[in-house]
Each structure stands twice: as structure tokens, then as C-alpha cells.
Structure 1
Amino acid sequence: MTRTSLSRAFVPGIAVLTVLALSACGASNEDGGSDNSGDGGSSSGPESAGLTGVLKGAGATSQEKAQEAWAIGIQGANDGFEVQYQPVGSTDGRASFVEGAAAFAGTDSALNDDDGQLTAAKKTCGGTEPIQVPAYVSPIAVAFNLPGIDSVQASADTIAKIFDGKIKKWSDIPDEQADGVTLPDTDITPVHRSDDSGTTKNFTDYLGKAAPESWPYEAEDAFPVKGEAADGTSGVIQQISTIEGAIGYADNSQAEGLGKVSVQVGESFVAPSPEGAAKVLEASPPAEGVSDVDMAVALDRTTTEEGAYPVVLLSYLVACQKYDDADTAKNVKGYLSYIVSDAGQEQAAKEAGSAPLGEATAKKAQEIVAKIGS
């Protein structure tokens, strides 16, 4: 099997999330994290033990907190094992995997052949179908900065008009969507991702499907409207926090301290929550034409199920079924097995605020990851 050497450098200038085994002694592990130490948790299995060396991954910035939590959990059970995850965004993470710079990728936009990456990944994986399993489901918060205001209600149509520059002041939001507050005559500054991002693709997919008359753009990794932009999830959060009147979109786990929009679902307005995100996943069918090791899902953005929150991303892990190097295969299998285990899912839910995979989804993901070998 031909695979580009994993020894090549990661993207220059991008910080690598490295959580040393010593981090297991930190606060995250002390506050209940010890349940996932030892053998990686009773439900993570023996394949998550006996790991050594450095494992490189790259991808979604939205996975950063979860990846840190998973690294702490797995490294606490494996002395001499180090996970390096580079949060470069979903698009660049998939590219790093295809090029062989990363042994696995995290992505908020399912690997497909819209850009030829699925075919390229099959070549990287020696002609076999790449594995794609969900890591977690998480709400995308539509977050804003208005001093003294924590919540605003808005329909998909209103959100689309805001991000397309059609609604320019907070006071222009319809009164019935103001959630009982008087909105100021403050300019709205929409903030979007400057880098190609799976979060952007999920957000624009929601707008296009839930508000097709007000959002004429395709779902893409690149945001289609010019305006205030920032790199990565952390950059968007920083920009929103800095600019009064700003509004943007980001993984809910990283939007604490900001106001959040409750989006209209049927006749109700629903705030972002892991439980609401999980309801959308349960109501969504598999994507068309996927292989038996690909769990990509066509998320239902127009659900009217009570309590569902449709502005969600389903974050995936991408890996090969086979690796030339036996140690790499063991490490990828061990780490991904931990992530999709009960212990790993509980760790991410506690530390990153994601919704754990449902029992049937987790079981299928575990069966697929078990196929990884050399």
C-alpha cells in the first residue's frame, strides 16, 4: 500500500494540541476524569491499552476541546503515548490525512467526492474505502455580543437575512422574535470563518434548507458573503467578544459567556443544547451511496420535532482500514476505539459539552473501528 510518510511536518504556523500524559494529573482528570483512566474505562476495551509513540491527527477546530479530553483519557492509561491533534479546520484536516501528514482526521463535514477527496483517500488507504465514523454530535451556537442581553429568538429566515447583510440593526429584528427584550439600535456585525470549515458548511447547509428563499447560496466550507472574518472557532469567538453588536456561529461548547439565539423549530424557539442536537441526529437518515464503513448522515435541518435544535454539526473521524505500519494501525485503532466507547463519549460530554452517540450509533462505530489493522 502506498502512503505518504507520516513523518512530514504539519502545516507551518499552526499550533498543535499536544496533551502529555502528565496532563492526566491536571484538574480535568481530577474532576471525575479518573473514571476513564486505568484501562481507558471499562467500556473502551483492551485495544485502547498498550499504546506507545506519537499519533498525529488534524482537522476540525470544533473538536479541539473534545480531542484534549480524549487525549487526557487515553494518555492516562498509556505511559509513553502522545496524541498530537492539529486544529487546522475540517478542510485542511482532510487534506492532511489524504496527503499522509496525519494518521487520522477530524471533520465536521463528511468526506465525500464533491472535491475528489474520497477518491484520493481511497488511494491513500491502499485502494480500500476509508473509515468514517461519528465522533459526537454538537449544536452550533448562533452567538452574539449585546451587553445585558443573553437570549434572542429568531427564525431561520431572520438568521439568513442577518448573515446576508439584509438585516443591519438589532432593532430591525421582528418584535415577536426578541424574546421579551427591547433590542438596541446597534449595528449588527456578522462574523464568519475566514478559513474553510466544516462548521461553515453545516451552518450554511442549515440556512439553505431552513430558509431557502432568504439564503440563495450553496452549502460550502467557505463562507459565501464578504464581511468580518476570523480564523478558526477561537478566532470567531474572540471577534464576537470584542465587537459590540457582533453575531457569529461556533461550536456551542466554545461560546460560553456570549448571548445565544434560540432558533425557531415549528411553533417553538429552541436554545442550543446537546440534547436538542441529539434529537436531530436520531431523526436523520444515512447519506446516499456510502460504503459499509462510512457512517455519514444527511442531517434533517427542517425537523419540527419538539426540542430538536437543527443548527448542528455531526463531527466525524476519518481513518484507513489498513496501515503499512503496525504501530500506527494499533495507535489509530486504540485511540478511535476509546473515542467511540462509552468512556470516551462521557469524557467529551463532560469536558466539551457534546452529545454522546446513541447506543446503536456507538455500537456500529465501534464495529467499524475494530476493522483497523495492518
Structure 2
Amino acid sequence: MVTRASSIAAIAIAATIVLSSCAANEAAPSTSGSAAPVSKLSGTLNGIGSSAQGAAQTAWIAGFQTSNPKVTINYDPQGSGAGRTNFISGAADFAGSDAALKDTEIATPSPLCKSGTKAIDLPVYISPIAIAYNVAGLKDLKLDAATIAGIFKGAITKWDDAAIKSLNSGATLPSAPITVVHRSDDSGTTQNFTDYLSANAPTVWDKPAAQTFPYAVGDAAKGTSGVADAVKGAANSIAYIDESGATGLGIAQLKVGDSFVKINAAGAADVVAKSPAATGRGTNDLAIAIDRKNTDKNAWPLVLVSYLIVCNTYDDAAKGSLVKAYASYVASAEGQAAAATQAGSSPLAKDLAAKVAAAIATIK
């Protein structure tokens, strides 16, 4: 029996981190006129990385398996930093990461990549980051970037602080200490969260964007599921978390421009669609420089773009074919719809989807 990796959506039914699947993109014609196509693909791929991607990976692997029963894909949601580290060392065939490769990481290619070639970043998962909280009786919490920065920096320590009260007229705010929960591991979600605060509250958040939480404040938990469990278990707590992990928690509205916006995947996707490509990247590398100051109606600039990180050319051509097939399914309309259903993510915009498909087509 094939088992699947633990993820936010699958934790109750699977304790193992192994997810098995197969790809629908390179199928041979069936020998029967009525039977489904039979895939010729076989082999195993090992992926490590983003816990925010975990629920989406569950959906992608399940869909991939349907058409390719001889392919096994293992995905271990250890976190974005672990994913990149293991990919670069050659311990993982691909990585999932909520932050694109750093220049120094690109300069250290995986031994799995053919000599003289580099890894590429493929944006495949777009999701809003939630400011999730557990405060009895508190509904429709409203926060702006400066107040969020003050809370997570440790400058605002009680729920009835004047800064929070000024944004929440009429709300019942307890006179209780705020328990801040942040990621303990090297996290792309942290990178995106701190990037948002650096851009929108620079006078309060005086640290640069980073994948490691920069302040000695509150409690630390590993991975998306760890943060979710910590907030659910601690009264008067608050955390930043991929929306897929915020089920059962309150989610704050975010002040964008002059309006408060409820979290929404469409607004997050629109921000990404209007953001420029990162500079200094090689051919087929689709890293995105997110516009954190987008104030369009219903925009959600507190968004993460999660990537599949792969070799553009693998030293093992058979492995390259498997990666190409899996990535093709992940980025397809079917794969994106499956992730949206499972994880609440937003499918890639048409133009971005076309760019991703073109880059995947070059994988060898």
C-alpha cells in the first residue's frame, strides 16, 4: 500500500511523510480502445521542502499517481531552508521553497545537475499568509503593518494596547499578554512575512527580510503544522502562517492603503501577477520580486510564492524526464485546481502559467 506525506490536510490520516504518485504528461496510447492511457514512466523522486506546500503536494502527488502507477514520489515537508540545503547537497531530487534560491545557492549547483548547468526556480504555489490568532470572543480583528510589526517585534505586548484598540473600535480586547508564535526553522514563510514588514513598516521593523525570525520574542514552532498547533494550544496567541494552516483560527483583516481587506487568494494572486521578475536571474529561472506595496482593491500583499526548485538539466536523463513530467502536472490547470481545492491556494495567472510551462519544457 502506498503511503502519503504528512501535511496539514492529511495529518489525521497519515503519520508518514512519504507520498507516492505518478505523472500524467508522458503517457503512451492504451492497447485497448476503451481503457485509460498506460504510462511508460517509472522510478522514484525524492523531494524535501516547504511545509506551506505540504497540502498542495498531497493533492499533486495523488493526481500524479492516478496516471503513473509505476512512479513513486516522496515529499518531506521539513521546511524551505531544509529543502534548498538538501537539494544543493544532492540528497533531494527537487525542493519546495517559499523563497527562491539565493545567489550564493545558485552558484553552488547540486551534484544532480549536469556539469555547467544551474538550478531554476519555478513558481507553482501562490498563497496568502494569514495573521492568525486565538483570542476568545474576538472577531474581525483589524491590523495594519506597523501594529503587526510592533506585536512581532515585542514592542506591543498586550491585547488592549492603544495601537490595537485604535484599529478595532468597539471590539472586546482582553487585558492579557500577547503570546507571539513564530517559526523556529529556516522558513520561506518567515522570509515573505519579514519582507512585507520591511517594506510597509520600516520605522518599526528595523531588521532586513530574513528566513530566520530575527527577534527573541515569544514561542517558536517548527513548520506550518507546528505553528498552527502552538496557536491553537495557547490562549491569546498570534502567528503568521500560510492560510492552509489557519483552519479553526481567527484571521485578521489587513490594512491595505486606506481600507481593511479580508484574506483572499485572488487578491494574493493579483499582487503576484503584477509583480516584476527578480533581477539577475538566468534563463528559465522565474523568481519573482513581489510588490509588497500594492494597494489595489482587495489586494493581499502579504503573500508567498512557493517554488519547485529543480535542475534545468539533470546528469541522469531519466531523472530529468521524471522531474519534467511531475513539474508539468503540478503547473497544469488540473494540478493548480487540485492545490486550490486541497490547500486554498490561487491558481497561476494565465501569463505566469505560460512562462512556467515554457521553462518546464526545457528540463532535461
Please report the TM-score for the alignment, with normalisation by the length of structure 2: 0.89
3-state DSSP of counterpart to 2:108: helix
3-state DSSP of counterpart to 2:336: helix
What does residue 286 of structure 2 align with? 295
1:272 aligns with 2:263: yes
What does residue 168 of structure 1 align with? 157
**1:122–1:128 CA contact under 8 A, matched in 2:** no
Q: Distance in 1 between matches of 2:45 and 2:332?
A: 19
What does residue 117 of structure 1 align with? 105
Q: Distance in 1 between matches of 2:213 and 2:198?
A: 12
Q: 1:290 to 1:20 in 2, by over 3 A?
A: closer
**1:57–1:84 CA contact under 8 A, matched in 2:** yes
Residues matched between the structures, number: 338
What does residue 10 of structure 2 align with? none
Alpha-carbon offset, residue 123 of structure 1? 6.4
Match of 2:189 among 181, 196, 199: 199
Q: Distance in 2 between matches of 1:280 and 1:50?
A: 39
Q: 1:192 to 1:122 in 2, by over 3 A?
A: same
Match of 2:173 among 183, 190, 195: 183
What does residue 87 of structure 1 align with? 77
What does 1:138-287 correspond to in 2, within 5 Å? 138-172=127-161, 173-178=163-168, 180-226=170-216, 227-287=218-278
Alpha-carbon offset, residue 131 of structure 1? 2.0
Q: Which has the higher helix share?
A: 1
What does residue 318 of structure 1 align with? 309
1:346 aligns with 2:334: no
Match of 2:322 among 315, 331, 337: 331
1:17 aligns with 2:17: yes
**1:16–1:86 CA contact under 8 A, matched in 2:** no
Alpha-carbon offset, residue 17 of structure 1? 2.8
Kindly report the root-mean-square deviation, in angstroms, between the aligned alpha carbons of the 2 structures. Answer: 1.9
3-state DSSP of counterpart to 2:185: coil
Q: Distance in 1 between matches of 2:169 and 2:91?
A: 48
1:136 aligns with 2:119: no
3-state DSSP of counterpart to 1:286: coil
1:55 aligns with 2:65: no
**2:129–2:243 CA contact under 8 A, matched in 1:** yes
What does residue 33 of structure 2 align with? none
One-letter amino acid of the structure 2 residue matched with residue 255 of structure 1: A
Please report the TM-score for the alignment, with normalisation by the length of structure 1: 0.86
**1:130–1:293 CA contact under 8 A, matched in 2:** no
Poorly superposed stretches of 4+, deviation over 4 Å = 44-49
**2:129–2:242 CA contact under 8 A, matched in 1:** yes
Identical pairs, percent: 44
3-state DSSP of counterpart to 1:314: strand
Stretch of structure 1 that moved more, 203-212 or 268-277? 268-277
One-letter amino acid of the structure 2 residue matched with residue 210 of structure 1: N
Deviations 1:227-266 (A, max 9, x none): 3101111111111111101101111011111011111101
Q: Distance in 2 between matches of 1:88 and 1:119?
A: 23
3-state DSSP of counterpart to 1:171: coil
Alpha-carbon offset, residue 336 of structure 1? 0.4
**1:16–1:85 CA contact under 8 A, matched in 2:** no
Q: Distance in 2 between matches of 1:77 and 1:305?
A: 41
What does residue 63 of structure 2 align with? 73
Q: 1:326 to 1:292 in 2, by over 3 A?
A: closer
Structure 2: gaps (5+ residues):
1-14, 29-37
**2:126–2:305 CA contact under 8 A, matched in 1:** yes
**1:303–1:310 CA contact under 8 A, matched in 2:** yes
Stretch of structure 1 that moved more, 46-55 or 67-76? 46-55
Q: 1:81 to 1:143 in 2, by over 3 A?
A: same
One-letter amino acid of the structure 1 residue matched with residue 274 of structure 2: A
Q: Distance in 1 between matches of 2:193 and 2:181?
A: 13
Deviations 1:172-213 (A, max 9, x none): 143342264221112101111011111001100101111000
